[in-house]
């Protein structure tokens, strides 16, 4: 009798949970927080704090903001970085080492060229490309975890953390939602997701993996307490001379990848999923799955 009463109470408590949804533009895309709970004011406050944390990452690591900590790094001597930046750099250089530079956080000079190419629809002259390539290379950036310092060894070096920052930010935002009593939360960083406990009454979150036709999710997966991130030439590319150059830079050529591939990574954290989806595109359809599974993914879906 007592058990039935307790179950009835639980069911009533569950029924009262509502869905709350908040959105904000951040990092050149739309971020969204969806959560379930009974207290709208608390949900709004928690989401506000989460967005604030996202803006903090952007202020530190954006390569679009001239005043960010990243943009103020200067080559040739070790620079002591803030704790937040240190956390992101540590994750970035770990993934650079593991993927042997398929994910390379030092490609700033090349991604800058790619953005110009997208505007002008002209590939860079070979001399310009060679100069930018010479200023890249994760092995010429010395991240010292103990000292919390970064040394960029070569002149003109410039970080670009665009391939990991969204996942890292989603992790931070989710941690805040959970801390504030909203473990049933989903953080969307553009199309990349960090998921917590499932919505009330559900076994999991249902997620459609992105495909080359964004209107048509190819496969729906049921997930909880993990992240899913997709990379590839699905949306961002430039076409020149009948060739499609993706925004993923091939460190071997310095240009955007020209092979049609999209990689979705499911992993315990957004940071891991985001770094590995990009690395997966670089190593290519045949090796993406093995690489991902070796370095922290729980599942890798490759489309070509
Ligand atoms: P994502 O959508 O997660 O694959 O991130 C793509 C972004 O990461 C690009 O727009 C560049 O800013 C940056 N990027 C491109 N190629 C690489 C690479 N090989 N390694 C690390 N970052 C990259
Ligand atoms: Mg990525």
SS3 sequence of 75-140: CCCCEECCHHHHHHHHHHHHHHHHCCCCCCCCCHHHHHHHHHHHHHCCCCCHHHHHHHHHCCCHHH
Find, among 278, 300, 302, the residue nearest to 102 by Cα.
Answer: 278
Nearest ligand to the C-alpha atom of residue 272: 2
Q: Report the pLDDT value the prediction gives residue 4, as an integer from 0 to 100.
A: 55
What is the pLDDT at residue 219?
A: 87
pLDDT at position 216 is 66
Q: Cβ(155)–Cβ(131) under 8 Å?
A: no
Nearest to 213 by CA among 227, 241, 232: 232
List the 79-80 sheet strands across, edge first: 79-80, 149-152, 141-144
Q: Which residue lies with its CA nearest to atom 6 of ligand 1?
A: 163
The residues lining ligand 1, judged by C-beta closer than 6 Å to any ligand atom, are 103-105, 107, 111, 160, 162-163, 231, 247-249, 251, 274, 277-278, 282
Return residues with CB closer than 5 A to ligand 2 (ion). Answer: 163, 231, 274, 277-278
CA of 201 to the centre of ligand 2 (A): 32
CATH numbers and ranges of domains, the chain? 69-110+124-152 (1.10.3980.10)
The confidence score (pLDDT) of residue 218 equals: 75
Tens-of-pLDDT digits for all 304 residues of the chain? 455 555 555 555 555 899 999 999 999 999 999 999 999 999 999 999 999 999 999 999 999 999 999 999 999 999 999 999 999 999 999 999 999 999 999 999 999 999 999 999 999 999 999 999 999 999 999 999 999 999 999 999 999 999 999 999 999 999 999 999 999 999 999 989 999 999 999 999 999 987 777 666 678 999 999 999 999 877 778 889 889 899 999 999 999 999 989 999 999 999 999 999 999 999 999 999 999 999 999 999 999 8
Q: Which ligand is nearest to the CA of 99?
A: 1
Q: What pLDDT does 11 receive? A: 55
What is the token pair recorded at 142? 């010395």
What pLDDT score does 1 carry?
46
Helix (H) / strand (E) element for 26: namely strand 18-26
pTM for the whole thing?
0.93
Ramachandran region, residue 272 (left: φ > 0; alpha: ψ -120 to 50; beta: rest): alpha
Q: Which of 285, 96, 275, 194 is nearest to 296 (CA)?
A: 275
Protein residue closest via CA to atom 10 of ligand 1: 247
**The dihedral of CA 106, 109, 112, 113: what is its sign?**
negative
């Amino acid at each position: 009798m007592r058990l039935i009463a307790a179950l009835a109470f639980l069911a009533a408590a569950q029924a009262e949970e509502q869905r709350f949804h908040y959105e904000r533009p951040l990092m050149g895309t739309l971020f969204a927080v969806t959560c379930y709970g009974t207290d709208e004011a608390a949900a709004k406050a928690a989401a506000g704090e989460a967005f604030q944390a996202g803006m903090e990452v952007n202020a530190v690591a954006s390569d679009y903001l001239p005043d960010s900590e990243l943009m103020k790094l200067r080559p040739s001597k070790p620079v002591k970085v803030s704790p937040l930046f240190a956390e992101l750099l540590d994750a970035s250089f770990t993934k650079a080492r593991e993927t042997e530079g398929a994910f390379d956080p030092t490609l700033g000079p090349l991604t800058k060229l790619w953005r110009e190419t997208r505007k002008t629809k002209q590939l860079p002259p070979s001399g310009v490309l060679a100069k930018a390539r010479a200023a890249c290379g994760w092995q010429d950036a010395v991240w010292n975890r103990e000292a919390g310092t970064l040394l960029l060894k070569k002149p003109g070096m410039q970080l670009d953390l665009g391939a990991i920052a969204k996942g890292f930010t989603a992790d931070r935002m989710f941690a805040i939602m959970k801390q504030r009593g909203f473990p049933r939360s989903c953080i969307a960083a553009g199309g990349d997701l960090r998921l917590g406990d499932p919505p009330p009454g559900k076994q999991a979150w249902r997620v459609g993996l992105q495909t080359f036709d964004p209107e048509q999710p190819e496969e729906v997966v049921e997930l909880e307490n993990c992240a899913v991130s997709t990379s590839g030439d699905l949306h961002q590319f430039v076409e020149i001379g009948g060739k499609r150059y993706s925004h993923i830079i091939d460190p071997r050529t310095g240009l955007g990848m020209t092979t049609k591939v999209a990689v979705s990574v499911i992993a315990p954290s957004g940071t891991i999923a985001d770094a590995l989806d990009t690395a997966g595109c670089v190593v290519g359809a045949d090796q993406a799955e093995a690489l991902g599974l070796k370095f922290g993914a729980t599942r890798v879906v490759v489309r070509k």
